[in-house]
Chain A
Amino acid sequence: MGFTMTEKIFAVHAQSRQARAGDIEILTPDVVLLNDTSGTITVEQLKKMGVDRLFDSEKVVLVADHFSPPKDVTSADAINLLRGFGNKFGIKNFYESGRHGIEHALLPELGKVGPGGLIFGADSHTCTAGALNACGVGFGSTDLAGVIATGELWVKVPRSIRVDFVGQPGRFVTGKDIILSLIAKIGVDGALNAALEFGGSGLANLNIDERMAIANMAVEAGADTCVFEYDEQVAQYIAQSGWAARQPVMPDADADYLARHTIDLQQLTPLVAVPPSPANGLPVAQVAETIVHQVYIGNCSNGTITDLRQAAQVLKGQTIAPNVRLIVVPATSAIYRQAAREGLLEILSAAGAGISLPTCGACFGGHMGILAAGEAAISTTNRNFRGRMGHADAKVYLANAWVAAAAAVAGKIVDPLTIAPLAGRKELA
């Protein structure tokens, strides 16, 4: 029996040099990622462990992105703690406001994520790395303290669920809609204790940004991790980013899968996931006319240049509805600069958008766009749990950037075609 991509990546990083689904293996990752919310606990646990030397300070990356820039003294203390830890142990990879970005979007740009790589992050959306033929696995703070101390962590090798894409996505269909449709199909625990593996002839029709949007929400289906097949687009990406640490992986033809799904991209329509579950994806028409008070375009899943181009396509020459607050958050400083060069920030700002520096911000209810009781937001983020963006009685609808931008103009959820008849995939290309 052959091996899945996940088994192959885990095997390369295993003490035993092998990995088969169901086995517990001791793994050493290429990168260990901490942020300003998870990292504080890691630092405290390392103190308790009596650690005076890290397994490899070059492999540790610290990103202050959640409460960055610090929203209050407590948050500043947390970031200060993380910075102090980095300085003490000679960790050069420390990033915060300005030379920075949201961790999962930043790591690929820095060349810290790429084919065959294994990233352990104290953040559940570490699975975003899957877009680049890597495995990103989310952990808690204490597990990562263990890795930082010893370079090793036990992991149960997951079985994989294979997802094949075929066909060409329709006019306003994005990576967001693909993953929302998959989660609607298999449920928030549909990939529990499993890995999602993506490939198929339709993959070539999705750019890296769209693959990142899909990979990012693998955890919303309960997946341990996910990995996309390697192709020419990934090769081009890493030629720029400089990743060369590991070799690409492809699945064996006789690999064993827990389940197989085929998604015909042509059959999909833009979806809106209604609260309180990412599995509640419905066609836009079924939630049309829902009033929104905030539109949030950003975060680690959909704050890419592709998303900003989609938003600008809809908002060019438009003015947002008077009762709407539109917040745009480019996911990294590099994306911010590119959006400036392309004139996107001008278009967005002229339409009435508030443009933020990269931060996790309001996505997790932290700051920079918190919702009041009774308010509703449409957001390109990844979670619409109760209270996720603020008050427990506020609502969050998840959607792609075209749909979100159209809602900003209309003040309610609408088919983007009604706002922007000249927008769409082909028109963007």
Chain B
Amino acid sequence: MNGSTIHLYGANIDTDVILPGKYLNLYTPEELGPHCLEGLDPSFIQRVRTGDVIIAGSNFGTGSSREHAPIAIKAAGISCIIATSFARIFYRNSINIGLPVFECADIVAAVKSGDTIEADIAKGLFTVNGAVFQAKPFPPYIQDIINAGGLVPFVKMQKKT
């Protein structure tokens, strides 16, 4: 597996800076992706490559419930987000749309922007600069939604049963 690049941010990154309010009348991934992190890091969208990883401090995705924020992050090509902790709604939204999110405080303190990361998303196992980090496992109910590929296929499966 080729390594991906880390984009490191601080604590309390709010969904307004991830996807500014003026774009909330848009809703498709194609429209939202180009505005990802526009309020915080306007050149991010030029630097990001498919498969890259966002790492951040505590309470990532705080504030507005806008699902547009994780949709934009996923559409920009980010493969997963690792943070010390997440705001509840952002966390659920990410799981629901199939954007992997992991809690792992140790990795946040150990890396810098531009570092290369090897990510085993299925196992929540990450390697940076030779060091290996294991993210917290998901509660069983959430793991079922992830296994289904998000809430849409999960609900479809439930409807059949």
Contacts and interface: CB of A to CB of B under 8 A. Distances in A.
A38 B26 CA distance: 10
Given A366-B21, A366-B22, A386-B16, A192 B155 contact: no
Nearest to A225: B88
Given A140-B93, A189-B12, A366-B24, A37 B66 contact: yes
Interface stretch (B44-52, B57-65, B125-133): B57-65
A261 to B, nearest CB: 20
Nearest to A224: B88
A154 B17 CA distance: 28
B80 interface: no
A119 interface: no
B24 A140 contact: no
B71 interface: yes
Contact of B152 (A49, A370, A388): A49
Interface string B24-61: 11110000000000011000000000000000001100
Contacts of A66: 24-25
A370 B66 CA distance: 19
B63 A124 contact: yes
Nearest to B150: A142
Interface residues of B, number: 43
B22 A365 contact: yes
A386 B66 contact: no
B89 interface: yes
Q: How large is the interface on A (under 10, 10 to 19, 20 to 34, 35 or more residues)?
A: 35 or more
B4 interface: no
A222 B59 CA distance: 8
A392 interface: yes
A85 interface: no
Interface string B132-159: 0000000101000000001110111011
B17 A123 contact: no
Nearest to A36: B25
A134 interface: no
Given A138-B65, A149-B155, A385-B16, A67 B59 contact: no
Interface string A342-384: 0000000000000000000000111000100000000000010
Nearest to A73: B25
Nearest to B59: A189
Interface string B2-25: 000000000010101100111011
Contacts of A45: 151-152
Nearest to A220: B63
Nearest to B86: A192
A168 interface: no
Nearest to A192: B59
Contacts of A240: none
B100 to A, nearest CB: 15
Contacts of B59: 188-189, 192, 222
A383 B39 CA distance: 15
Contacts of B62: 188-189, 222
Contact of B96 (A50, A140, A386): A140
Nearest to B84: A189
A188 B67 CA distance: 20
A150 interface: yes
Given A24-B141, A188-B12, A123 B27 contact: no
Contact of B17 (A78, A145, A150, A387): A387
Contact of A388 (B16, B87, B88): B16
Interface string A383-417: 10111100010000000000000000000000000
25 contacts: A24-B141, A37-B24, A38-B67, A50-B159, A67-B25, A72-B25, A77-B25, A78-B27, A124-B89, A142-B150, A146-B96, A146-B151, A149-B159, A150-B159, A189-B62, A192-B88, A220-B63, A277-B12, A364-B21, A365-B20, A365-B22, A385-B63, A386-B17, A387-B39, A388-B16
Interface of B: 12, 14, 16-17, 20-22, 24-27, 39-40, 58-59, 62-68, 70-71, 85, 87-90, 92-93, 96-97, 139, 141, 150-152, 154-156, 158-159
The 6 closest A-B pairs by CB, nearest first: A140-B93, A365-B21, A364-B21, A140-B67, A142-B96, A37-B24
